[in-house]
Structure 1
Amino acid sequence: MKASLLKEEFKTNKYDEMLKDLYEDASLVDYQKDRYANALDKFIELYGDENVSIYSAAGRSEISGNHTDHQHGCVLAGSINLDAIGVVARQDDVINVVSDSFNIAPIHLNDLDKKDEEEGTSEGLIRGVVSKLKELGYNIGGFKAFITSDVLVGAGLSSSAAFETIIGTIIDGLYNDMSIDMVTIAKVGQYAENVYFGKPCGLMDQCACAVGGLISIDFKDTEHPVVNHVDVDFSKYDHSLCIVDTKGSHADLTDAYGAIPAEMKDVAHYFGKEFLREVDEKEFFDHLADVRDAVKNDREILRAIHFFKENARVPQIVEALNNDDFDLFKKLIKESGNSSYKFLQNVYADFDYKHQAVSAGLALSEIVLGDHGVSRVHGGGFAGTIQAFVENDFVPEYKKEIEKLFGEGSCHVLKVRKLGGCKVVEE
Structure 2
Amino acid sequence: MIQTTELKKNLQAGAYDDVLLDIYVDADVLPYQKDRYVAAIETYEKLYGADAVEIYSAPGRSEIGGNHTDHQHGEVLATSINLDAIAIVKKLPDMQIRLVSDGYDEIVIDGNDLSLKEEEKETTTALIKGVLAGAKERGYAVGGFQAYITSDVLIGAGLSSSAAFETVIGTIVSYLYNDGTIDAVTIAIIGQYAENVYFGKPCGLMDQIACSVGNLVHIDFADVKNPKVEKVAFDMNAYGYSLCITDTKGSHADLTADYAAIPTEMKAVASYFGKEVLLGLTIEDILSHAQELREKLGDRAVLRALHFLCEDVRVEEEIDALKAGDIDAFLQKVKESGDSSFKYLQNVYTSHDVMHQNVSLALAVSEIALAGGAGVARVHGGGFAGTIQAFVKNEAVSGYRAAMDRLFGADACKVLKIRKYGGMKVLA
Structure 2 length-normalised TM: 0.98
Q: In percent, how many aligned pairs have the same letter?
A: 56
Answer yes or no: is 1:365 the counterpart of 2:366.
yes
> What's the counterpart of residue 418 of structure 1?
420
**Any residues of structure 2 matched to 1:396-411 within 5 Å, and which?**
396-411=398-413
Equivalent position of 1:323 in the other structure: 324
1:353 Cα shift? 1.4
* 1:271-282 mapped onto 2 (5 Å cutoff): 271-282=273-284
Q: Deviations over 1:2-53 (max 9, x none)?
A: 1122111111111001001100011111111110011000011001112100
Counterpart CA distance in 1 for 2:384 and 2:427 is: 39
Identify the match of residue 102 of structure 1 among 97, 101, 104: 104
In the alignment, which residue of structure 2 is the partner of 1:57?
58
For 2:58, the aligned partner's letter is A
SS in structure 2 opposite 1:29?
Answer: helix
Q: Secondary structure at the match of 1:106?
A: strand
Aligned to 2:28: 27
Q: For residue 182 of structure 1, report the CA deviation from its aligned partner.
A: 0.3
Which residue matches 1:42? Answer: 43
Letter in 2 for 1:211: V
Other-structure match for 2:285: 283
Alignment check: 8 A CA contact 2:282 2:309 kept: no
2:49 alignment partner AA: G
Query: Counterpart amino acid of 1:214?
Result: L
The answer to whether 1:180 aligns with 2:182 is yes
Query: 1:115 matched to which residue of 2?
Result: 117
**AA in 1 matched with 2:104:** F
CA contact (8 A) 2:59 2:83 kept: yes
Query: SS at 2:41's partner residue?
Result: helix
Residue 198 of structure 1 corresponds to which residue in structure 2?
200
Matched with 2:225 is 223
Structure 2 residue 170 is the aligned partner of structure 1 residue 168: yes
Instruction: Name the structure 1 match of 2:216.
Output: 214
Task: Give the deviation of 1:187 after TM superposition.
Answer: 0.7
Aligned to 2:95: 93
Which runs of 5 or more residues in structure 1 are unaligned? none
How far apart are 1:95 and its partner, in Å? Answer: 1.1
Question: Shift of the alpha carbon at 1:55?
Answer: 0.3
Q: What do you get for the CA RMSD once the two structures are aligned?
A: 0.9
Deviation at 1:286, TM superposition (A): 1.9
SS in 2 for 1:102: coil
Aligned counterpart, 2:345: 344
Aligned to 2:130: 128
Indicate the residue corresponding to 1:155 in structure 2: 157
> Aligned-pair distance for 1:179?
1.0
Preserved CA contact (<8 Å) 2:258 2:350: yes
**Paired position in structure 1 for 2:148:** 146
The equivalent of 2:386 in structure 1 is: 384
Structure 1 residue aligned with 2:271: 269
| Residue type at the aligned position of 1:227 | V
What's the secondary structure of 1:412's corresponding residue?
strand
The TM-score with structure 1 as length reference comes to 0.98
How far residue 177 of structure 1 moved from its aligned partner, in angstroms, is 1.2
Does the Cα contact within 8 Å between 2:70 and 2:204 map onto a contact in 1?
yes
Native 8 Å contact 1:104 1:122 kept in 2: no
- Cα deviation, residue 283, structure 1: 1.9
More displaced, 210-219 or 251-260?
Answer: 251-260
Q: Is the 8 A contact 2:77 2:219 kept in 1?
A: yes
Letter in 1 for 2:210: A
Q: 2:286–2:302: 8 Å Cα contact kept in structure 1? A: no
Report the number of matched residues: 425
Q: Secondary structure at the match of 2:128?
A: helix
| Structure-2 separation of matches of 1:350 and 1:67 | 18
Q: Which amino acid letter does the alignment assign opposite residue 395 of structure 2?
A: D
Q: How far has the Cα of 1:105 moved from its partner?
A: 2.6
Deviations 1:90-147 (A, max 9, x none): 1121111111111243121111111111111111111111101000001111110000
SS in 1 for 2:378: strand
1:352 counterpart SS class: coil
Shift of residue 258, structure 1, vs aligned partner: 1.0
Corresponding residue of 1:292: 294
Kept in 2: contact 1:104–1:123 (CA 8 A): no
Aligned counterparts of 1:402 and 1:31: Cα–Cα separation in 2: 22
CA distance in 2, matches of 1:320, 1:280: 23
Partners in 1 of 2:400 and 2:341 — Cα distance?
A: 22
2-structure distance, mates of 1:256, 1:133:
35
Structure 2 unaligned segments of length 5 or more: list them.
Answer: none
Q: What displacement does 1:228 show?
A: 0.3
User: Which stretch of the first structure deviates more once superposed, 385-394 or 402-411?
Assistant: 402-411
